[in-house]
Structure 1
Amino acid sequence: MKRAANKNNTGTRPKPLVSTKLRPPSNRGTLIERPQLIETLRETLSRKLALVYGPAGFGKTTLATQWHAQLREAGTSVAWLAVDSSDNDLNRFLGYLVEAVRSAEPDMGEGLRDVIEASPGSAVDFVIDTLVNDLSLHDADFVLFLDDWHLVTESRVHETLQMLLSRSPPNLHVVVASRTRTGIPLARLRVQNELVEIDAARLRFDFEESRTYLTSVKSLDLRPEDLVALWRSTEGWAAALQLASLSLRESGDHERILQWTSGASNDIGEYLAENVVDNLPADQVSFMLKTSVLDRLCGDLCAAVTGKKDSTARLEALEKQEMFLLPMDEERQWFRYHHLFARFLHRRLQKQMPDKIKDLHLAAAEWFSSRGHTADAVKHALLAEETSEAVALVERDAMNLVEHSHMSTLLNLVSQLPRTALFDRPRLQMAIAWATCLTHRRQESMEALWHVERLAEAAPPQQKALLLDEAKCVRACNSVYADQITGVEQLVKPVLSQVDKFSPWAVAVAANIRAYCYIRASDYGKVAPLMLSARAYQDRVEGVFAAVYGRCFDGIAAQSAGRLGAAREMFSGAMDVAIRTAGRQSHAARLAGALLGQLLYEENDLARAERLLSDSRVLGFEGGVVDFYTATYLSSSRLMLLKGDAEEALAILQEGEDTGRALSLDRLRVAVACERVRVKLTGGDVRGAEQILAEVDTRQQPTDSDEVRVYIATAKARLLCARGTAGLAVGILRAQIAAATRRGQKLQELVMRILLSVALDLDGEAAEAERALLDTVDEAVPLGLIRSLLDEGPPLITILERARDHCRKHGADAGEGVRFSATAQRLLMISRHPAHGVRGQSGSRTRVAELTARETEVLRLLEQGRSNKEIARALAIGVETVKWYLKNIFVKLGVSTRAQAVTESRRQNLFSAPA
Structure 2
Amino acid sequence: MERGIHDPLLITTKLAIPPQYLNRLIPRTHVYTQMDAGLQRPFILVTAPAGFGKTTLVSEWIRQRHVQAVWVSLEETDNDLLRFWHYALTALHPLHLGLDALLADWETTLQSLSLENILTHVINISMDITQEIVLVLDDYHTINTPAIHQSLMFLLEHLPPNFHLILLTRHDPPLPLARLRVQGKLSELRSNDLRFTLDETSLLLSQTMQLELTSNEITELHTRTEGWIAGLQLAALSLQYKESASAKQHFIQTFTGINKNVMNYLTDEVLLQQPEEVQDFLLKTAILEQLNVKLCDAITGQHNSEAMLEWLERHNLFLNILDSQQAWYRYDQLFRDLLCYRLNQKYPELKAELHHNAGNWYEEHGMISDAIKHAIAAEAMQHAAQLIEQHAWTFIQQGDGLLLLSWLRRLPEQIFNTCPMLSFLQACMHCYQAQMENFEAALKRAELGWQQTQNQASLSCAYDLRARVALYRGQAFLAIKYAQQALSLISEEQAPLFYSSALVHLGAGYLNVGNCQQAQHYLAEGYRLSQKHHAVVVTLDALLYLGYLQRLQGNLRLAQQTWQQMLSEISTRFVAYQIVAHILLADIYREWNELASALEHQTQAQKLAEHTQYEDIATSQRYLITARLVWLQNDPETAFSFLDQAEQSSQRFGIQQTFLAQLAEIRIHFLLAQRDQRTARQWLAQSTPELCDSMPVYEKESWIKAHARLLIDQTQSQAAQQLLKSAYQIAHEQGRTESAIALLILLTLAYHMEGNTQYTLQTLEQALILAEPNGYTRIFVDEGDVMAALLTELYSRYQRRTVSEPQNIALGYLYTLLTIFGADAKPPLWLVSQENDDILIDRLSEREYMVLGLIAEGLSNQEIAQKLVVTVSTIKTHLNNIYAKLHVHTRLQAVTRAYDLGVLRRSEVDTEPLAHSKSTEK
Normalising by structure 1, report the TM-score.
0.72
Q: Quote the offset at 1:766 in angstroms.
A: 0.9
* Residue 104 of structure 1 pairs with residue 55 of structure 2: no
Aligned counterparts, 1:255-334, within 5 A: 256-257=247-248, 260-265=251-256, 282-309=276-303, 311-312=305-306, 314-329=308-323, 332-334=326-328
Q: Is the 8 A contact 2:285 2:296 kept in 1?
A: yes
Partner of 1:433: 427
What is the aligned counterpart of 1:821 among 771, 796, 807? Answer: 807
The 5 Å alignment of 1:2-401 reads: 26-31=19-24, 32=26, 52-53=48-49, 59=53, 80-82=73-75, 95=79, 99-100=83-84, 102-104=86-88, 146=139, 171=156, 205-219=196-210, 222-225=213-216, 227-228=218-219, 231=222, 236=227, 238-239=229-230, 241-243=232-234, 245-246=236-237, 256-257=247-248, 260-265=251-256, 282-309=276-303, 311-312=305-306, 314-329=308-323, 332-339=326-333, 341-342=335-336, 345-346=339-340, 349=343, 355-401=349-395
- Give the SS at the match of 1:323: coil
CA distance in 2, matches of 1:69, 1:444: 58
Where does the alignment leave 5 or more consecutive residues of structure 1 unmatched?
Answer: 1-14, 84-92, 109-129, 150-156, 813-817, 862-873, 885-891, 893-904
Q: Distance in 1 between matches of 2:701 and 2:45?
A: 55
Residues 725 and 428 of structure 1: is their aligned pair in 2 closer, same or farther, counting only changes over 3 Å? same
- The 2-side partners of 1:597 and 1:343 are apart by 47
Q: CA deviation at 1:415?
A: 2.5
Question: Equivalent of 1:448, from 434, 442, 460?
Answer: 442
Q: How does 1:540-579 map to 2 (within 5 A)?
A: 540=532, 542=534, 544-562=536-554, 564=555, 568-569=557-558, 572-579=561-568
Q: Which moved more, 1:582-591 or 1:391-400?
A: 582-591
- The equivalent of 1:659 in structure 2 is 649
Mapped partners of 2:371, 2:701: distance in 1: 54
Percent of matched pairs sharing the same residue: 23
SS of 1:326's equivalent in the other structure is strand
Q: Cα–Cα, structure 1 residues 316 and 734, in superposed 2: closer, same or farther, change >3 Å?
A: same
d(CA) in 2 for partners of 1:745 and 1:588? 25
Give the secondary-structure state (helix, strand or coil) at the position aligned to 2:477. coil
Deviation of residue 717 (structure 1)? 2.1
* In 1, Cα distance between equivalents of 2:10 and 2:388: 16
The question of whether the paired residues in 1 share the 8 Å contact of 2:62 and 2:68 is answered with no
Deviation, 1:148, is 8.3
Residue of structure 2 equivalent to 1:864:
none
Change (3 A) 1:382 1:228: same
Q: Is the 8 A contact 1:59 1:203 kept in 2?
A: yes
1:766-818 Cα offsets, whole Å, 9 max, x none, are: 12222333344334424654543444344334334434545666869xxxxx9
- Paired residue type of 2:88: A
Contact 1:432 1:445 in 2 (8 A): yes
Moved more, 661-670 or 206-215: 661-670
Query: How has the CA–CA distance of structure 1 residues 216 and 877 changed in structure 2, closer, same or farther, with 3 Å as cutoff?
Result: farther
Alignment of 1:482-521 (within 5 A): 482-497=473-488, 498-500=490-492, 502-521=494-513
**1:570 Cα shift?**
5.8
Residue 748 of structure 1, CA deviation: 2.0
What is the CA–CA distance in structure 2 between the aligned matches of 1:854 and 1:440, rounded to whole Å? 41
Matches of 1:576 and 1:70, distance apart in 2: 50
For 2:348 and 2:573, locate their aligned partners in 1 and report how far apart those are by CA, in whole Å: 51
CA distance in 2, matches of 1:240, 1:622: 40
Q: Distance in 1 between matches of 2:643 and 2:230?
A: 59
Question: Conserved in 2, the CA contact under 8 Å of 1:229 and 1:261?
Answer: yes
Query: What do you get for the CA RMSD once the two structures are aligned?
Result: 5.4
State whether residues 434 and 474 of structure 1, in contact with CA within 8 Å, keep that contact through their aligned partners in structure 2.
Answer: yes
Alpha-carbon contact 1:548-1:574 (below 8 Å) kept: no
Cα offset, 1:131, TM superposition? 10
In structure 2, give the amino acid aligned to 1:394.
I
Contact 2:362 2:371 in 1 (8 A): yes
Deviations 1:698-749 (A, max 9, x none): 7989964332222122122222333333343223322322333454534323
1:511 to partner: Cα distance? 0.8
Amino acid of the structure 2 residue aligned with 1:300: K
Higher relative contact order (CA 8 A, sep 6+): 1
The count of aligned residue pairs is 799
Q: Deviations over 1:363-419 (max 9, x none)?
A: 112233344544543443333332333333333332222233322221122233334
Question: 2 CA distance for matches of 1:33 and 1:701?
Answer: 86
Q: Structure 1 residues 255 and 649, CA, compared in 2 at 3 Å: closer, same or farther? A: closer
Q: Equivalent residue for 1:771?
A: 762
Determine helix, strand or coil for the equivalent of 2:48: strand
Tell me the SS of whatever aligns to 1:293.
Answer: coil
Tell me if 1:856 matches 2:863. yes
1:213: how far off?
1.2
How far apart in 2 are the matches of 1:636 and 1:820?
A: 41
CA displacement at 1:473 relative to structure 2: 1.7
Q: Is the 8 A contact 1:270 1:344 kept in 2?
A: yes
The 1:19/1:610 distance shift into structure 2, 3 A limit, reads same
Q: Does 1:831 align with 2:817?
A: yes
1:325 is displaced (CA, Å) by 1.5
Q: Secondary structure at the match of 1:582?
A: coil
CA contact (8 A) 1:559 1:747 kept: yes
CA separation of 1:256 and 1:605: change in aligned 2, threshold 3 A: closer
* C-alpha distance in 1 between matches for 2:875 and 2:673: 42
Q: Distance in 1 between matches of 2:335 and 2:614?
A: 48
Going from structure 1 to structure 2, the CA distance change for 1:439 and 1:243 (only over 3 Å counts) comes to closer
Contact 1:481–1:624 (8 Å) recurs in 2: no
Contact 1:359 1:384 in 2 (8 A): yes
Q: Which amino acid aligns with 1:52?
A: A
Cα 1:826–1:857 change in 2 (3 A) is closer
Q: CA deviation at 1:764?
A: 0.9
TM-score, L = length of structure 2: 0.71
Q: Return the alpha-carbon distance in structure 2 between the equivalents of residues 841 and 207 of structure 1.
A: 79
1:675 CA drift (Å): 1.1
1:725 matches 2:711:
no
Q: Which consecutive unaligned segments of at least 5 residues does structure 2 have?
A: 1-7, 93-113, 127-133, 158-164, 825-852, 880-890, 892-911
The Cα offsets for residues 486-523 of structure 1, whole Å up to 9 and x where unpaired, read as 33323222432322464322112211111012112222
Distance (Å, rounded) in 2 between the aligned partners of 1:638 and 1:347: 55
In structure 2, what is the equivalent of residue 87 of structure 1?
none
CA–CA separation in structure 1 for the residues paired with 2:916 and 2:458: 67
Give the counterpart letter for 1:660 in structure 2: S
